[in-house]
Structure 1
């Protein structure tokens, strides 16, 4: 089946359909604390009063340290309308020192007026995100380079074939430009 172009296109279309169904299906699941899925920013933005006294888990950016306040983003659709934005949560009993701009993930009990009494919290400095994106970009470029140097696309069959002799990076770039021009 996967040896023909029709078979490969059919397999790709089938996998994309499964991905779409899973994305829609899992995107509509409501929080289930018994399964470890606690209400978060989207749920609190829709019905904040219905979760008072219950365990919640929110992640936001620290905007104040005395008391600790975070902005939490939300996105949800209700009654055919799309809602997005941010709201502020006051966090009590934060076990670690935090500074403005850090990302703070808090697990705790929701109180009145969007106040969370933290049972556990984790802060992530803002510079960690920049380092994460930089390392991910470098890894992506390295992988792309390895792919271009060691493999080629057979345009007639639509298959990815291993090169008989892998190219050096500069040689691969020249060859790729010649293939595109041809």
Structure 2
């Protein structure tokens, strides 16, 4: 089955369909604390009072430090309308010093007055996200370079084939253009 273009295209189609089904099935699952899926910003914005006294897990941007306040983004659809914006909650019992602009993830109990009593919290400095994107971009470019240098696509079978002798990416691209033009 995987030795022809049709078989490979069918396999890719089946995998994409399975991915779509899983994305729809599990993307729409509501909060289920017994499964580790706690209410978050969307659920709090929809019906705050329903979750008072429940365990929640939220991630927001620190907007105040004394007391610690975080802004939670929400985006949900209800009654045929899209709702989005920010809500601010006060977090008690934060065990580490935080500064404005940091991302703070909090697990705790939701109080009736816009508060969360934290059982656990983790702060992430804003510069960590920049470093994460930079490292990911470099890793992606390095992987692409290795792929172009050491492998080629056999157009008759639609398979990746290891090159006998690794090429420089610019040379490999030039050779491929020449193959297509010929």
In the superposition, the TM-score normalised over structure 1's length comes to: 0.92
**2:18 maps to which residue?**
18
Aligned to 1:44: 44
Match of 1:130 in 2: 130
Q: Can you list the C-alpha shifts for 1:145-167, whole angstroms capped at 9, x where unaligned?
A: 00000111122332221112111
Gaps of 5+ in 2: none
Partner of 1:109: 109
**Displacement of 1:177:** 5.1
Q: Deviations over 1:126-157 (max 9, x none)?
A: 10110111011000000000000011112233
In structure 2, the CA distance between the partners of 1:114 and 1:178, relative to structure 1 (3 Å rule), is farther
Paired residues, number: 182
Structure 1's consecutive aligned runs of 4 or more residues displaced over 6 angstroms after TM superposition are: none
Question: 2:3, 2:50 → 1: CA distance?
Answer: 55
Aligned to 1:58: 58
What is the CA–CA distance in structure 2 between the aligned matches of 1:125 and 1:176, rounded to whole Å?
44
Structure 1 residue aligned with 2:34: 34
Trace 1:64-103 onto structure 2 (pairs within 5 A): 64-103=64-103
User: Aligned in 2, Cα 1:177/1:113: closer, same or farther, shift over 3 Å?
Assistant: farther
Q: TM-score, normalised by structure 2?
A: 0.92
Q: Distance in 2 between the 1:181 and 1:119 partners? A: 64
Residue by residue over 1:54-105, the C-alpha shift from the partner in whole angstroms, topping out at 9 and shown as x without a partner, is: 1101000101111111111122222333222221111111111000010000
